[in-house]
Amino acid sequence: MNDLALRGHIRLLLENTLDFYELTSESRGVFPLQLRELISEESQGRSRVRQQAALFSRQYSLPSRRKPACDPELPVPHPLDADWRFSIRSAKQILEQVCRFLQPGDPILLVATPTLARVASILKLPFKFVFASRMLDPVTLELRRLCPGFEFVDIEGDLATAGAKASIIDPPWYDEVALPMIRKALRGTLIGGQVYVCVPDVFTACSSAPILTDVRELGALFATHCEIEPLIVRYETPYFELNALRAARLTNVHPQWRTAQLVRLSAVATRDDAVPTETLWTEISLGTSRIRVCESGHERKEPSSFIVLNTVSRAAWKAIAPSVVTSGNRFSCGPATLDRGRPQYDLVTRLELVAAREQHELNEHISRRPLKAYSPVDKRRWAVRA
């Protein structure tokens, strides 16, 4: 989307929203840091929204009205996984959209969509669900416990045996990872079936995903029909992104500001493809904190202090070449020697302190209430389909 359209969109929001919190909710994927820059420019310009922009610019650091939600039964998302999870409402809407033309018992392939798996399991939807992911991933291991009756398959294998009538995939927004994952979803879907893909929203800046953000190019790449579904998908802000926003002094942000579009591709015959994976990281769990440690490529004699980046950009964290990354968006550089799977003693002590701090932050800023996806309305709606 060009700069002129983005600025026109922001000016329209400044005229029609009550405050910065509501504006972030309606931004259609504009990252809050970018919103702050655009609003600052408008407040100093001569446009008709100058006064409103000046008012909004004083609201960045106000407390948010609502905490983001995070399923307490699953490990918290980790920034290295690019793990954003749907809101419960969006998860239900996606499942309704996908299942409307299916028959009970039809197989549905889920790829990188843990919230969909949780909601489908709680609702006891009358379909056969196949969940594709890395088999030893901590989130997958918990889903195997929480979703009885689901079939779990390794995403690194050939998914052709899934034989799904429909697939749903929410890949990381990097073409180098997303496109092989979409190819695998197409391969796991019967020819003529439908593959639903969550892609960046219209105003989301994704320099690493030029194909994923262009519906025509996406369809052309896989030689299939591709169209946008009439649904805006919302994500709950994960803990690591919340910490990034807090580091940027942006606290008055809607917990579901990040949005996506749902596009539908017609399944066609395709070759299998390998999904790039990171193999240099070892994960350690300390309480609710998930800590990844990497030994290679660091020449410094002493580990550096932990810093919280004010961005979730993959390019930003790769530029500092971290050796330790936590689920709270904390990064540390320097050596992190492992001995029999355990970090050196001084690093262990530091990690325990960081984990304790992250536990406190998580309790204070994230809602960890039990997932309640089942309601009388859901019961009536899905009983008809069954």
Helix (H, G, I), strand (E, B) or coil at 177: helix
The one-letter code for the residue type at 212 is L
CA 173 to chain centre: 9
Nearest to 122 by CA among 74, 155, 193: 74
Place of tokens 């922009």: 53
Note the pLDDT tens digit of each residue in 317-372: 888 888 899 999 999 886 555 444 444 556 778 889 999 999 999 999 999 988 76
For 259, residues 6+ apart whose C-beta sits below 8 A from its C-beta are: 28, 29, 201, 204, 232, 233, 234, 235
Count Cβ atoms below 10 Å from residue 115 Cβ, excluding itself.
24
Helix (H), strand (E) counts: the chain: 13, 15
Residue 182: Cβ-neighbour burial (10 angstroms; 0-12, 13-18, 19+): buried
Residue 3 has a pLDDT of 85
**Structural domains of the chain in order of their starting residue, each with its CATH number:** 3-56 (no CATH), 79-273 (3.40.50.150), 281-365 (no CATH)
Residue 301 has a pLDDT of 42
Global pTM reads: 0.91
Note the pLDDT tens digit of each residue in 114-161: 999 999 999 999 999 999 999 999 999 999 999 999 999 999 999 999
pLDDT, averaged in runs of 10, over the chain (386 residues): 87 93 96 95 83 93 95 96 96 95 96 96 95 95 96 94 96 95 96 97 92 94 94 98 97 97 94 80 92 67 75 87 92 63 63 93 93 60 53
Nearest to 185 by CA among 135, 229, 133, 147: 133
